Amino acid sequence: MTLVRGLPSVAPAAHTALTLGVFDGVHLGHQAILARLKEVARRMGCPAVVLTFDRHPASVVRPEACPPCIFDLEDRFALFDQLGIDMTVVVPFDERMAKVSAYSFLHDLLLGGLGAKAVVVGYDCRFGHRGEGTITFLEEYAQREHFAVYEVEPVYVGTEAVSSTVIRRAIQAGDMPRVASLLGRPWRFHARVIHGQGLGHALGFPTANLPVGEMVKPALGVYAGWAVESGVRHKAAIYIGCKPTFPECAGAVVCEVFMLEYQGDLYGKEIMVQPAKLLRADQRFDTPGALSAQMKRDVENVAAWMEVNDGE
């Protein structure tokens, strides 16, 4: 897949089939849009192009209501590539872009800048200033501007339409099996291991400490899951919480990973973490010794869960 950062100086091809959006999560609904895009592009004999943004538009137009990310940009790019997209164009979204009218966005960027002859979008598509660009808007201009519009209906899991909002709520509830069913894959995140305060080591369970950054925060507690380092997947007890047993540490959400059957120094290495099952909620213990005893039980519970679920 070709990745273009910024607006290309010339259209990438004489004709393109194009979709646009944030695509946070690249979930089942997004995958339906991308599959239709590839189908249309194949029929037209042109590249399948995704137009996305370097940040969530809400971070500029409604920063107080901007949702946390499910996957970062680099993860989304990797998923676009795996799904067979030919080109991704990443447009900077700033206050100037937020003021571009829907017509200018369509005429100057999609049609003029990217050579779109087909636009494939979800049922809830909105773009341009104040979100004035909709399916109805696209259909009104399609005949005059000589391009085709394809609308993709929502995908349902059970009775609920799949959306990034629904997935964020499921992550925040710690319902990782449901998250996986909505994404079409397990949810995971990656980060570089940083120095912690050595509390895990002092309690008998040395952990890899990871910054949680801007990502959506799962329900606080202990999870069974996996950690991948240098391409090798390890069973792991994953703690995401506020360390309430230690008042001097309490407050900020942290992620600490204890990898079962792993020996080695992880500091400075990037690892991928996949929480799979919430085993217990975060809680305060009266003494460090009581916490250490619970951590031992947590690791045993993770190992027991893995006996049944290691193939997931």
> Mean pLDDT in the chain?
91
From CA 51, how far away is CA 177, in angstroms rounded?
Answer: 30
pLDDT of 292 reads: 86
Domain assignment present for 170 = no
pLDDT tens-digit map of 114-130? 999 999 999 999 999 99
From CA 82, how far away is CA 36, in angstroms rounded?
Answer: 15
Range 187-204 average pLDDT: 74
**CATH number for 31:** 3.40.50.620
Of residues 98 and 251, which shows the higher confidence score? 98
Same domain, 64 and 119: yes
- Cα separation values, 191 from 186, 197, 198, 270, Å: 17, 18, 19, 5
- Cα separation values, 11 from 14, 15, 105, 113, 149, Å: 7, 8, 15, 5, 19
pLDDT of 196 strictly over 70 = no
This prediction's pTM: 0.92
Helices (H) and strands (E) in the chain, counts: 10, 14
Domain-terminating residue out of 115, 146, 161: 161
Cβ atoms < 10 Å from Cβ of 172? 15
pLDDT tens-digit map of 276-307? 999 999 998 888 888 889 889 999 999 999 99
Whose structure tokens read 């049944």?
308
Same domain, 31 and 148: yes
SS3 content of the chain, % helix, strand, coil (to 5): 35, 25, 40
Domain assignment present for 175 = no
pLDDT of 245 reads: 76
114: containing domain:
2-161
* DSSP code for 218: P
* DSSP code for 185: S
Cβ atoms < 10 Å from Cβ of 151? 15
Same domain, 103 and 216: no
Same domain, 252 and 293: yes
CA-based Rg of the chain, rounded to a whole angstrom?
22
**137: nearest Cα among 113, 121, 153, 152:** 121
Same domain, 67 and 130: yes
Range 242-264 average pLDDT: 80
Same domain, 12 and 141: yes
pLDDT of 279 reads: 97
pLDDT tens-digit map of 145-186? 999 999 999 999 999 999 999 999 999 999 999 999 999 999
pLDDT of 263 strictly over 90 = no
Same domain, 210 and 247: yes
Same domain, 157 and 192: no
User: Which pair of structure tokens corresponds to residue 169?
Assistant: 């709520």
**CATH number for 213:** 2.40.30.30
Please check whether residue 15 is in contact with residue 117, taking contact to mean a CB–CB distance below 8 angstroms.
yes
The strand pairing partners of 273, in sequence order, are 189, 227
| C-alpha triplet 63, 65, 71: angle, nearest 5° | 90
Longest distance between any two alpha carbons in the chain, whole Å: 73
The total of structural domains in the chain comes to: 2
Domain assignment present for 82 = yes
pLDDT of 19 reads: 98
Please check whether residue 178 is in contact with residue 277, taking contact to mean a CB–CB distance below 8 angstroms.
no
Whose structure tokens read 């912690």?
196
Domain assignment present for 83 = yes
From CA 217, how far away is CA 219, in angstroms rounded?
Answer: 7
Same domain, 118 and 227: no
The strand pairing partners of 148, in sequence order, are 118
Domain assignment present for 180 = no
pLDDT of 200 reads: 57
